[in-house]
Structure 1
Amino acid sequence: MIKPILIICGEPNSIFSEIIVKAFNKYNNKNPIVLIGSYDLIMEQFKILKSSTKLNLVFFKKNFFMNIKKNKINILNINYKFIKPFENISSKSNYYITNCFEKVFEIIKKYKIKGLINGPISKKFFLGNKYYGVTEYLSKKFKVSNKYSMLIYNKSLSVSPITTHLPIDKVSNQLKKDMIISKVLIINDFYKKKLFKKPKIAVTGLNPHCENFFKLSEEKRLIEPAIRNLKKKKVNIKGPFPADTIFLKQNMKNFDVIIGMYHDQVLAPIKTIYGFNAINITLGLPFIRVSPDHGPNFKMIGKNKSDPQSLIESLRFLDKIK
């Protein structure tokens, strides 16, 4: 049976329809693709973008996969009422986006998929104060709590923050030795099982230069014991390294993955180095979730200037893995 890639269209007022068209024009996917979103809205947006791309409408029923065509953009319609194709981003999109996610959850419970890509959403309006990000939203929905990892993947170098979308003043209290061990093991297992590679992993400290500013710093109390434990489990891991030098070319070339303690500690460098050639992967779910590394970007809507590379990299990655 075929295993399609599902793509949630995400925020209806975003650059994603433009990126979908550009990605399909540039990349010949190996696996069939199904968009989850509003057929009418996407078609109207295609008209504005002067795209002649056709959509193959599919329905979620007994023979769902039989209607999917490999060389077309398939779409499972989710109703969405709109006045004009592109409006201001607001909370009125929430019901539609929730329905898109719920339909995907329904499909995943019934069928095996190659992976899930979610288009950009507004964290402010869709997630509000309930979740810090889509990573946390999905982990809660699938009840994996802290047994997940956020990996920003590039074939040359990937990074992962132990704490994800967390305010900086909460990081120290949230860090736990077991959390570090669990998340590193998930990443190590993913590399071995899906990429057939035993990764070389570096771990940063939390404090500047890994210095001890008090008797038992996070490095001494949490990070170093976690690394010792992981070495006993035969993980190829080293650290802690100062975060301000680990991304120097002569240092990062020695590793496949750099683990940081908080979001911007590792995401700022990786995005500076690789730009849109990196993708966001959530590991530890019952499926692989990938997200292009950009937001809705309302200011760029309809200008035909948006870069599809991150979506292309997402598709290429899912096509590659077993």
Structure 2
Amino acid sequence: MDKPIIAITMGDAGGIGPEIIVKLFKRQDIFNHCVPVVIGDEKILKKAEKDLQTGVHIDKVDRIDTLTNKAGRMPCLDLNILPNDLPKGEVSASAGDAAFRFIEKAVELANLGKINGICTAPLNKEALHKGGHLYPGHTEILADLTDTDDFAMMLSATNLKVIHVTTHVGLLEAVRRIDDNRVYSVVKMAHETLVRAGISQPKIGVCGINPHAGENGLFGEGEEEEKIVPAIERARSGGIEVTGPFPADTLFFRATRGDFDIVVAMYHDQGHGPIKVLGLDNGVNITVGLPIIRTSVDHGTAFDIAGKGVASEDSLIEALLQAAELAGTNVK
């Protein structure tokens, strides 16, 4: 196929996942970028379509290599593991288990070379745990199922991509965890991800840790020279086009005007802040370092509005398009 095949996992069926997926398949433009297939539960999706009256036709499929690619038609690989009376807006062990099984099936297809990327609708961590799967979330599940030890969070918006050296730890702990090996690994993952997306020689800019990137030792205790500079030199010696460390307050501006294809942020808020300023609906969460591209919506299961038909599909659309952009097109 000349377009990447992207598996969309249905997430927690008690949340908004089924309805935003149904809304997604009304959109003609997505079919110009990829061949989407849903891994989920046909009866749940049909109920969501009936409630929404979108006119989307759900086609149960057994094989990935026979997919059609037409607007208004949703190919669904039906695992048929959810009860007919699954409640909306509630934590459910069966929904948590099913959310895991959808991901597990997607990874199986990826390992067989049948799909090019995975786009995940949200799951609920409490339901996941009640279903017997004790993971913090999607990222850790995917890392475990693919035997991946080294991975990173990448955020992508319309004109800015950011990858993080550290994420969900306090600032002092983040500085402790940053070292030249981790910085080098993240720079390398950024390079490989963008090369895979078709940018032959990505331009990578690296943030400093301290104000003004330390300004030659004026701020901080030499963290840039100790933790970042050796990593940049190592990456450059391997042919990666990477420069820095730069002050974060100017680097993100330079990236949005096109000087860099991606920014390496040192800690959570350093990277998340600029992406959020560009718009909450534009940001997409991407796990890099896995053997397959995985993107995700930037919101949760929204149990409070599940089943009401008001949930927006915008973030899912962005996540799907980003998966299509970053994935290759080779399948078996």
TM normalised by structure 2 equals 0.83
**Letter matched to residue 270 of structure 1:** I
Map of 1:222 onto structure 2: 227
Determine helix, strand or coil for the equivalent of 2:251: coil
Check whether the contact 1:132–1:166 (CA below 8 A) recurs between aligned residues.
no
Partner of 2:60: 57
- The 8 Å contact of residues 88 and 303 in structure 2, kept in 1 or not, is answered as no
Rounded Cα–Cα distance in structure 1 between residues aligned with 2:78 and 2:106: 12
Does the C-alpha gap of structure 1 residues 57 and 277 become closer, same or farther in structure 2, counting only changes over 3 Å?
A: same
Contact in 2 for aligned 1:45/1:86 (Cα 8 Å)? no
Q: Kindly provide the amino acid, as one letter, of the partner of residue 203 in structure 2.
A: K
1:142 paired residue number = 146
Percent identity of paired positions between Structure 1 and Structure 2: 30
Residue type of the alignment partner of 2:273? A
- In 1, the alpha carbon distance for the partners of 2:261 and 2:64 equals 36
Task: Give, in whole Å, the separation in 2 of the partners of 1:242 and 1:217.
Answer: 14
Once the two structures are TM-superposed, the CA of residue 169 in structure 1 deviates from its matched residue by 4.9
Q: Which residue of 2 aligns with 1:11?
A: 12
Structure 1 equivalent of residue 204 of structure 2: 201
Report the 3-state secondary structure (helix = DSSP H, G, I; strand = E; otherwise coil) of the residue aligned with 1:306: coil
C-alpha distance in 1 between matches for 2:161 and 2:186:
14
Q: List aligned pairs for 1:32-111, cutoff 5 A.
A: 32-59=35-62, 64-71=63-70, 72-78=73-79, 79-81=81-83, 83-111=85-113
Structure 1 residue matching 2:26: 3-state secondary structure = helix
- Using the TM superposition, give the Cα deviation of residue 273 of structure 1 relative to its aligned residue in structure 2, in angstroms: 0.9
Query: What's the secondary structure of 1:26's corresponding residue?
Result: coil
- Alpha carbons of 1:124 and 1:73: their partners in 2 closer, same or farther (altered >3 Å)? same
Which stretch shows the higher mean deviation, 3-12 or 82-91?
A: 82-91
Paired residue for 1:232?
Answer: 237
1:159 corresponds to which letter in structure 2? V
Cα distance change on mapping 1:175 and 1:311 into 2, 3 Å: same
Which one-letter code corresponds to 1:70 in the other structure?
N
What's the secondary structure of 2:39's corresponding residue?
A: strand
Tell me the CA shift for residue 167 of structure 1. Answer: 4.6
What's the TM-score, normalizing by structure 1?
A: 0.85
Work out whether 1:152 is the aligned partner of 2:151: no
Q: Shift of the alpha carbon at 1:57?
A: 0.8
Q: Aligned pairs, how many?
A: 316
Q: Quote the offset at 1:216 in angstroms.
A: 4.3
What is the RMSD computed on CA atoms of the aligned residues?
2.9
User: AA paired with 1:104?
Assistant: A
In 1, Cα distance between equivalents of 2:149 and 2:254: 36
Label 1:294 to 1:116 Cα distance change in 2 as closer, same or farther (>3 A).
same
Instruction: Identify if the C-alpha distance between structure 1 residues 234 and 32 changes in structure 2 by more than 3 Å, giving closer, same or farther.
Output: closer
Aligned to 1:286: 291
Residue range with higher mean Cα deviation, 184-193 or 236-245: 236-245
Q: Residue 118 of structure 2 corresponds to which residue in structure 1?
A: 116
Cα distance in structure 2, aligned partners of 1:266 and 1:167: 14
The equivalent of 2:313 in structure 1 is: 308
- 1:300 is paired with a residue whose SS is coil
Residues 1:241 and 1:299: Cα distance change in structure 2 (over 3 Å): farther
Q: What's the secondary structure of 2:8's corresponding residue?
A: strand
Q: What secondary structure does 1:298 align onto? A: coil
